[in-house]
Amino acid sequence: MAKQAPRISRVSEIKEILKLLEGTDIEEIELEKGDLRIRIKKRGPAPAWFHQSPPPLISPASEEKPFTPLLTRPEKDLGPTGNLMTITSPMVGTFYRAPLPGAEPFVREGDIVDKGKVVCIIEAMKLMNEIESEVSGRIDSILVENVQPVEYGQPLFLIEPI
């Protein structure tokens, strides 16, 4: 029981240090007192796009490869030809139809896409991941609303291969 009292005083000491740093330009501090060692690093304010919209896409010269969505057949065939494929989410994240707010969406229902065309972005852990079509075809249905959370394996698009 005697060990709990120092723990409470340490928490109050840490809170006091945090209050002292609030109005300063100090970005990082490391303190050592006896057996207690604390390192505090302040984060700057979140950029405006963090709360409002996705950041600009990574330039095509980037070496990062877009994620490949899973491509499956729906449980039952839909559409006039009965051979629709489903593009599913390769990760958990937030679905974006366009690269920036107010920009034209990557694809619309009825659009013809080539294999490798970016069809959406999924933001996961502050990273914007371009999702490409794995098949050439016509976008039959967009199954997710813009800025909607998606799960791994969740259907995003129905595409009629051509």
Same domain, 125 and 79: yes
* Residue 67: DSSP 8-state: B
Find the domain containing 29 and state its range: 4-41
128 phi and psi angles, rounded to 5 deg: -95, 115
In contact, 109 and 141? CB cutoff 8 Å: yes
- Evaluate whether residue 15 is within a structural domain: yes
In a domain, residue 58? The reply is no
Tell me how many domains the chain contains.
Answer: 2
Neighbouring residues of 161: CB distance < 8 A, sequence distance ≥ 6 = 83, 85, 135, 136, 137
State the Cα–Cα distance between residues 8 and 138, nearest whole angstrom.
Answer: 63
pLDDT tens for each residue of 127-161: 999 999 999 999 999 999 999 999 999 999 999 99
Q: Are strands 118-124 and 93-96 parallel, antiparallel or unpaired?
A: antiparallel
96 and 34 in one domain?
Answer: no
What's the pTM?
Answer: 0.51
Residue 50 lies in a domain: no
pLDDT at 65 exceeding the cut of 60: no
The answer to whether residue 73 is domain-embedded is yes
| Residue 28 domain flag | yes
